[in-house]
Amino acid sequence: MNLLNLQQQVIAISQEVGDFIRKEALSFIKTHHTEFKGKNNLVSYVDKEAEKMLVEQLSKLIPEAGFIAEEGTGERKIDGLNWVIDPLDGTTNFIHGLPIYSISIALIDEQEDILLGIVHEVNHKECFYAIKGGGAWLDGERIFVSETSVLSESLIATGFPYYHEDLKGYLNLLYEFLTKSHGFRRIGSAAVDLAYVACGRFEAFYEQNLNPWDVAAGALLVMEAGGKVSDFKNGSNFIFGKQILATGKIHEEMLEVISDYHKQK
């Protein structure tokens, strides 16, 4: 399998689907076109149609591959290769007309190693991409994580989980980081957050209760840009483990704060 050739084909697919999403945003009416999967968990016909487009076209590239997809289109996780896709990461932003949302596409093997990752930020038309061992790129330019090496000089991204049994505790951890850093940004698309860590706009991103399609592509971007990605215990279970910490040069310091917080609970 030629990953470089495959990457170019997937980039073209993401751009085509991005064009569709931008076009639909012009006439989208949130009160008519929105469904609720759960409290604060929204989905639109745009998510579903975009996912159908992705599944149809990606299936042609690797017919034997399975799918792990947010809306379940063509979903058939298998023991070999799997596409991990989020057709519209940042649906709430899209529905409310906030112009930060993305398409996230990753390819993982049977060991859950990420072979390819693409995050296409739809409105700015920025395409971040990486293949394993090939570095991370933004529209033809090599990207790297921030060189900032201390938490006190860092800008951190996070999100607020839809479902959390200890939301107050999560907010307490947020307070710990807020008082130890330059501050937070919550932009509403985990895939974009990770892409921004990869290119040095953020020094770190962390969140709980995310799904594989939220993080798989962006995690590869960060690692190939020279950063570190782990779960909250510095393990490798960040794709399916519902915890992710992605950083440039402040991984150990971030882990220390998380560890200290959990010891105090």
Residue 194 annotated as lining a ligand binding site: no
Residue 139 annotated as lining a ligand binding site: no
Residue 203 annotated as lining a ligand binding site: no
In the chain, CATH 3.30.540.10 sits at: 3-143
Q: What is the pLDDT of residues 62-95, one digit of tens each?
A: 999 999 998 776 666 778 899 999 999 999 899 8
Residue 47 annotated as lining a ligand binding site: no
b/e 241-260 (16+ beta carbons within 10 angstroms → b) = bbbbbbbbbbbebbbebbee
Q: Per CATH, is 151-264 categorized as 3.40.190.80?
A: yes
Alpha-helical regions (H) of the chain: 3-25, 30-33, 45-61, 91-95, 167-178, 190-198, 212-224, 251-264
Most confidently predicted of 21-25, 28-32, 139-143:
139-143
What span, in angstroms and rounded, lies between the C-alpha atoms of 159 and 141?
28
Residue 70 annotated as lining a ligand binding site: yes
Q: What is the pLDDT of residues 34-52, one digit of tens each?
A: 554 444 444 578 889 999 9
Predicted confidence at residue 163, as pLDDT, reads 61
Q: What is the pLDDT of residues 226-259, one digit of tens each?
A: 999 999 999 999 999 999 999 999 999 999 999 8
CATH T-level assignment (fold) for domain 3-143: Fructose-1,6-Bisphosphatase; Chain A, domain 1 (3.30.540)
**Global pTM value:** 0.92
In the chain, CATH 3.40.190.80 sits at: 151-264
